[in-house]
Chains A and B, each alone.
Chain A
Amino acid sequence: MIPKSIGASSSESGVAEMRRLIARHKTWDWLFGLLGTLALLFATLVFAALFGQMLINGTPQLSWEFFTSFPSRRAASAGILSAWVGTILVMLVTAVVAVPLGIGAGIYLEEYARKNLLTDIIEINVTNLAGVPSIIYGLLALGLFVYQFGLGQSIAAAGLTLALLILPVVIVATREAIRTIPQNIREGAYACGSSKWQVVSHHIIPYSLPGIMTGVIIGLARAIGETAPIITIGALTFIAFLPPSPFSNPEQLISFEWLLAPFTVMPIQMFNWISRPEEAFQANAAAAGLVLLLMTLSMNALAIWIRYHFRKKIKW
């Protein structure tokens, strides 16, 4: 890096050489800046190609009928009614299970857990679970929920599987959100005579809510797009009906029959259409992919927005 002639820098040629060296290194700097920009540009182009290709192939299929029709043997009249209804119901189960469990676990680890072996085991577990491939959760669900618990290929089995899958995401987000709350908030509340749960429920949970919400939304956005675990529980079937409505039984206010109903979800429907050899179905796949992409991207964008918005607002 250092020019050999630095000792002779008093001479004119030494200064000139130094200038050349600086200029050369500045050029390298500039070239790397260009490389970085090109890499970003590449990522943008890939996204544009991905989105554009789906848009071109899928838009002709996107119509009101596409959302209100069942899948069909004829590509032109096939729709995603059972898929989007299934996705919403599965997500409902996932959220109902994963949100309280994840937030509870996060609060426990940050506020309650003592530094002992059990806590260490739980922490290592959460880290490890976050790295387990999603298809392994599918195998767990196949062995446990489908056969041991006898839930079959139902909405409940799929919802539980995805809940376990996103649990680490919710736990980690909860913990990170709680960690940003300064200690003096807790001390102030304790000084006023609060019990631990009062501190947690009146202060910790409300203040960490934006962070928790971000994690929950990102987790659910991931769950919406997950295909492998649901295929693994054997749910790739032709579903041309809706699960029973929760209000169908006049004797009960809300019936939970739909939990055990067979179902399909958006990514499964898309996979089904991709794997058909006929080209017409690929247009359906593109349209379904477009809807799925918009669902996950808008959820992710919402999460990012919440994070940026509240980060600016909170000043401790």
Chain B
Amino acid sequence: MMSSILPLKHPPGTLAETPGALPQGWSAARLRRRLAERAIETLLMLAALVSVFTTAAIVAILVWESVVFFRTVPLLDFLTDTQWTPLFDDAHFGIIALLSGTLTTTIVALLVAVPLGTILAIYLSEFAPFRVREVAKPFLELLGGIPTIVYGYFALLFVTPVLQKIYPELPGFNMLSAGLVMGIMIIPYVSSLSEDAMRAVPMHMREASYAMGATRLQTAVFVVTPAALSGLASSYILGISRAVGETMVVAIAAGMQPNFSFNPTEPAATITAYIVQVALGDLPHGSIGYQTIFAAGLTLLLITLVFNILGHFLRKRFREAY
């Protein structure tokens, strides 16, 4: 994008187009190179267009299968029924039963990730000595790189037994442990985005605050945080989007029974866990059960899309603020 300043192209009618003015053989070579350059540019553009095709294919597949699904199941039932039993004889298709699980685990995750992520971001950006930051940032990055299946294992076989020691009635599958682990999982995500936002606050604002006699904490809380607020908000929102789309932790630790409940100590299925559950079975291609996962997937895509757009908008705002 930046290179467009350079006068790459010769004005029309010069050089290549006027072979008479050039030595013999010159223009053919030049033409060949022009063609090669053009071919390379086209190839690179096609590579860039793959992402557009991917999005188009995702939307097309989800909408296509969902349209077939909504021909059988009225949209109103889908949105208002509180039971999700598509594989039973008495089939109900109430997405709310899955949404409640998604919402509950997401809230539990946010209760962990937002405070801890924010504290870590403020600490790393405003307080930590250089040495600590140099070690802590790669370490947090590593935590973010742990496969979700490993976190799922941790939730089911470590966190749940520990919680059961405190609260013995807790069932083996529950949304609490899945949500807590999911929260831990998105801490690095929230903290690194928040820290970026705080780092983007110009130094002179901090210096002005220190010059007024404010302490580090006062500067961090009353100057840096408000200035980075839209960036912080965007990190939370992108964290929500991650939590809503997270699959393996909830599929392993929260159980796969759809359950219209907001009680984190109960087992419940999320949208993602339901898709996994169906994929584990042997549903024939084209059956109603097969189509449900696309309708559920479309719902999930729409929810994450709203959060992503909101987060993106907020991020842009904090970038443009200074």
- Per DSSP, are chain B's interface residues mostly helix, strand or loop, or mixed? helix
Candidate in A54, A107, A133 with the most chain B CB atoms within 10 angstroms: A133
Residue among B128, B245, B246 having the largest count of chain A Cβ atoms under 10 Å:
B245
Contact across chains for A54 and B153 when beta carbons are under 8 A apart: yes
Are A105 and B142 also in contact (CB < 8 A) when A33-B127, A195-B37 are? no
Instruction: Tell me the nearest residue of chain A to B256, going by C-beta.
Output: A275
Interface of A is mostly: helix
| Contact of A286 with B48 at beta-carbon distance under 8 Å, contacts A143-B61, A227-B247 already known | no
A196's contact among B37, B138, B311, by CB below 8 Å, is which?
B37
Measured CA separation A187–B251 after assembly (Å): 54
Closest partner residue, chain B, to A222 (CB atom): B145
Do residues A275 and B215 form an inter-chain contact, with CB atoms below 8 A?
no
Q: Is B143 an interface residue (CB 8 A)?
A: yes
Contacts of B48 in A (CB 8 A): 104-105, 108-109, 113, 122
A42 within 8 A of partner (CB):
yes
* B133 shortest CB reach to chain A, Å: 10
Which of A44, A115, A140 makes the CB contact (< 8 A) with B54? A140
- Whether B25 sits at the interface, judged by CB under 8 Å, is no
Can you list 26 residue pairs at the A/B interface with Cβ under 8 Å?
A35-B119, A36-B119, A40-B136, A103-B47, A104-B43, A111-B1, A112-B45, A113-B48, A114-B1, A122-B49, A127-B312, A129-B51, A131-B241, A132-B301, A133-B300, A137-B58, A139-B58, A227-B147, A228-B251, A228-B272, A232-B293, A267-B149, A271-B149, A274-B156, A289-B149, A292-B150
Which B residues have a C-beta under 8 Å from some C-beta of A?
1-6, 8, 33, 36-37, 40-41, 43-52, 54-55, 57-58, 61-62, 64-65, 116, 119-120, 122-124, 127-128, 132, 136, 138-143, 145-154, 156-158, 184, 187, 214-218, 220, 238, 241, 244-248, 251-252, 272, 275-276, 279-280, 285, 293-294, 297, 300-301, 304-305, 307-308, 311-312
Which A residues fall within an 8 A CB radius of B?
Answer: 1, 25-26, 28-29, 32-33, 35-37, 39-40, 42-44, 46-47, 49-50, 53-54, 57, 100-105, 107-115, 119, 121-122, 125-129, 131-140, 142-144, 147, 164, 167-168, 171, 183, 186-187, 190, 195-197, 199, 218, 221-222, 224-228, 231-234, 236, 267, 270-271, 274-275, 282, 285-286, 289, 292-293, 296-297, 299-301, 304, 308
Report the 8 A-B pairs with minimum CB-CB distance, sorted nearest first.
Answer: A133-B245, A225-B147, A36-B123, A104-B47, A228-B247, A143-B61, A108-B44, A105-B48
